[in-house]
Amino acid sequence: MESTYKVSIALPSEDASDIMVAMLTHAGFESFEETPQMLHAYCTESQWNPETMIPLSEQLLHLSPGSLSAEKIEPRNYNAEWESRLEPVYIDDFVQILPKPDLFKAEFVYTLHIRPRMSFGTGHHQTTRSVIRLMRIVDFSEKRVWDVGSGTGVLGILAARMGASSVIGTDIEEWCTENAIENALNNQIEALSEWHTGSTETLNILKPVDIILANLNLNLLRDQASYFHKYLVTGGKIIVSGFYTTDKDAILQIFEPLGFTEIKTLTEENWIAVLMQSYV
């Protein structure tokens, strides 16, 4: 296991992180962590080149030379440490998401056993919880489901547990696909699900579905909306999330011209999830 270098940059605004991540990726950074005020960019020691990466980052981010400095982090199994501290998530009386089986409580309708590895989708984020709450009012019985940006597979796995006849999960990261397959097996829904790595534009396994679950972000939802319209059957439902309450109008402006109508919206703190139906 090799060392990692970390560079921290103050976020100038709530919606700046996506652009900054793109710029820092171009500069050579490989992974990112966001807090309310800071964006932390990471690079493994074998890829670390401060003579080019730091000046290029400062140039792309319009920072003065010498603004950025790097911290060397000695190797540790952060994912194992994080998983060991991960708390269960209890969503109303509906779903409990457990990192370990000994945290089980009897009063929930569904129990999901999710080991996140490095993937998004533990239930700790507001958007995941809001999507799950909207899923409660949707009939998944014998429905075909597409889980877009599946991460741990938590949403697709819940859909299968709620009666879906089939689930296709897609993610651009191979480790997410592997993690979703593992979690599907641990939740005994592997026979109902298939998980694929790749972007929507390149995947040739997609087929018409009845329900789409897309917890992404505003830019990705804008890019993918036409594909959602293409693969969602008339009368089908879609739940989108991953954006702020201030972006709701932008979301509706994207989806309404494609024939989608809002059914219900949920918010938690400053995050939002929207359930829509396709009429075209």
Given a cut of 70, whether residue 83 has pLDDT beyond it is no
The mean-pLDDT minimum among 71-85, 88-102, 191-205, 257-271 falls in 71-85
**In terms of domains, do 103 and 60 share one?**
no
**In terms of domains, do 157 and 26 share one?**
no
Q: What pLDDT digit, counting tens, does each position of 178-209 carry?
A: 999 999 999 999 999 999 999 999 999 999 99
- Edge-to-edge strand ranges of the sheet holding 271-278: 193-197, 166-171, 144-148, 209-215, 232-244, 271-278, 260-268
Query: How large a percentage of the chain has pLDDT more than 90?
Result: 83
**In terms of domains, do 36 and 129 share one?**
no
Which residues, including other chains, have CB under 8 Å from residue 236's CB and lie 6 or more apart? 209, 210, 211, 212, 277, 278
Tokens for 150, please give them. 């599946």
**In terms of domains, do 51 and 163 share one?**
no
* Residue-number span of the structural domain to which 29 is assigned: 4-76
**In terms of domains, do 183 and 265 share one?**
yes
Query: How large a percentage of the chain has pLDDT more than 70?
Result: 96
Q: Is residue 112 part of a domain?
A: yes
> Which of 76, 104, 137 is a domain's end point?
76
> Which of 56, 76, 96 is a domain's end point?
76
**In terms of domains, do 13 and 103 share one?**
no
Nearest Cα neighbor of 114 from 74, 75, 87 is 87
Q: Is residue 95 part of a domain?
A: yes
Which residue did the predictor score with more confidence, 122 or 136? 136
**In terms of domains, do 144 and 12 share one?**
no
**CATH number of the domain within which 39 lies:** 3.30.70
Q: Is residue 123 part of a domain?
A: yes
Given a cut of 90, whether residue 269 has pLDDT beyond it is yes
Q: What pLDDT digit, counting tens, does each position of 28-73 carry?
A: 999 999 888 899 999 999 999 999 999 999 999 999 999 999 999 8
Q: What pLDDT digit, counting tens, does each position of 213-264 carry?
A: 999 999 999 999 999 999 999 999 999 999 999 999 999 999 999 999 999 9
**In terms of domains, do 23 and 146 share one?**
no
- The mean predicted confidence, pLDDT, of the chain is 93
Q: Is residue 81 part of a domain?
A: no
pTM given for the model? 0.72
Q: Is residue 247 part of a domain?
A: yes
Given a cut of 80, whether residue 172 has pLDDT beyond it is yes
**In terms of domains, do 22 and 144 share one?**
no
pLDDT band at 81 (very low <50, low <70, confident <90, very high): low
**In terms of domains, do 128 and 216 share one?**
yes
> Which of 55, 76, 97 is a domain's end point?
76
Given a cut of 70, whether residue 80 has pLDDT beyond it is no
Number of domains in the chain: 2
**CATH number of the domain within which 205 lies:** 3.40.50.150
